[in-house]
């Protein structure tokens, strides 16, 4: 379980996050939604240690990420898998080398063990045929899947996905969503997804948190979200004509 308490962050005096608190349960897909510039990605970066919050704490199964020694922080980091928005694959390495990279750097596994684990992860995301290709030779959707394979290669306890559907066609988006949900349930991972994709919200959002201008305005499950009375959330959910008509 991940618990965030009273997270605040400001850049150049402008408050981006205003005392956000939440709990994210194990084995569930937790979505953080909101429009562009509402602080979703900053919150994610605060949680994974890329941006230090001005105030508040982030607890990983009770371990305070920002108030522990470096060794503990490193051990928490090694339990994280992160899928970045663009995949963040290393350009100079093949798909296989990208997935193997955390094993090379952080474990003392034998080459055979690493090979097996990489093959398993690539097969899990359906990319065993692309192992020898370079990131520049694969599509955006495949990059995301390689990113997922790299994120799960170390058997993470926590999986963070920053806009996993951005730049993908609707069909590929659904496949990526399903893959993340399957992995979350199969390995009992605490998954946090940053998104503004309504399909993801409805398909895989077990717990949803809505951010608006750095504030948490709503939190709940996807079956309740369409019944919301929060005007900002309603505006966000029914921003397109088709959905507005369906609501009416």
Partner 1 sequence: MSVIGKYFIFLGTLFGKGEKLSVYWRRLMEECVGIGVSSIFIVAIVSTFIGAVSCIQTAYNLVSPIIPISTVALIVRDMEILELAPTITCIVLAGKVGSNIASELGTMRITEQIDALEVMGINSSSYLVLPKVIAAMFTFPMLVIFSAFLGIMGGYLAGTLTGVITERDYLYGIRDSFVPYNIFFMCVKPFVFGFLIASISSFKGFFTSGGALEVGKASTQAVTNSCISILIADYLLAQLLL
Binding site for partner 1 (CB under 8 A): 48-50, 70, 73-74, 77-78, 80, 82, 84-86, 88-91, 101-102, 104-106
CB of residue 86 vs partner 1: minimum separation in angstroms? 6
2 neighbors 20 (Cβ within 8 angstroms): no
What is the bridge-based pairing of β-strands 80-83 and 63-64?
Answer: unpaired
CB of residue 221 vs partner 1: minimum separation in angstroms? 28
**Nearer Cβ to partner 1 (75/239):** 75
**Nearer Cβ to partner 1 (91/112):** 91
CB of residue 163 vs partner 1: minimum separation in angstroms? 12
**Nearer Cβ to partner 1 (66/90):** 90
**Chain centroid to CA 239: how far?**
24
Listed in sequence order, the residues at least 6 apart from 33 whose beta carbon sits closer than 8 Å to its beta carbon are: 40, 195, 196, 201, 205, 208, 209, 210, 211, 236
Return d(Cα 85, Cα 168) in angstroms, integer.
11
**Nearer Cβ to partner 1 (104/224):** 104
233 neighbors 210 (Cβ within 8 angstroms): yes
CB of residue 104 vs partner 1: minimum separation in angstroms? 7
Q: Write the DSSP assignment of 121-155 as a string of letters.
A: HHHHTT-GGGTTS-GGGS-HHHHHHHHHHHHHTT-
**Nearer Cβ to partner 1 (150/216):** 150
Length in residues, the chain: 248
CB of residue 108 vs partner 1: minimum separation in angstroms? 9
**Nearer Cβ to partner 1 (49/56):** 49
The tally of CA atoms less than 13 A away on the side-chain side of residue 51 is 18
Structure tokens that stand for 7 in this block? 């997270």
CB of residue 194 vs partner 1: minimum separation in angstroms? 13
């Amino acid at each position: 379980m991940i618990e965030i308490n009273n997270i605040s962050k400001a850049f150049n005096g402008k408050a981006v996050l205003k005392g956000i608190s939440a709990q994210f349960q194990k084995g569930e897909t937790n979505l953080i939604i909101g429009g562009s510039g509402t602080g979703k990605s900053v919150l994610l970066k605060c949680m994974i240690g890329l941006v230090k919050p001005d105030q508040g704490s982030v607890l990983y199964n009770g371990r305070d990420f920002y108030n522990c020694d470096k060794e503990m922080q490193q051990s928490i980091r090694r339990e994280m898998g992160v899928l970045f928005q663009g995949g963040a694959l290393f350009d100079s390495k093949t798909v296989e080398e990208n997935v193997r990279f955390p094993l090379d750097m952080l474990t003392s596994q034998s080459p055979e063990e690493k090979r097996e684990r990489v093959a398993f992860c690539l097969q899990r995301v359906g990319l065993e045929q692309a192992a020898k290709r370079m990131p520049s030779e694969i599509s955006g959707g495949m990059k995301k899947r390689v990113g997922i394979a790299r994120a799960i290669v170390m058997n993470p306890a926590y999986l963070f996905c920053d806009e996993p559907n951005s730049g993908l066609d609707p069909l590929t988006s659904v496949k990526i969503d399903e893959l993340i949900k399957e992995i979350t349930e199969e390995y009992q991972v605490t998954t946090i997804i940053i998104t503004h994709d309504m399909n993801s919200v409805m398909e895989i959002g077990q717990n949803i948190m809505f951010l608006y201008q750095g504030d948490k305005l709503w939190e709940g499950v996807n079956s309740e979200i369409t019944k919301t009375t929060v005007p900002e959330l309603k505006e966000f959910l029914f921003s397109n004509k088709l959905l507005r008509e369906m609501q009416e």
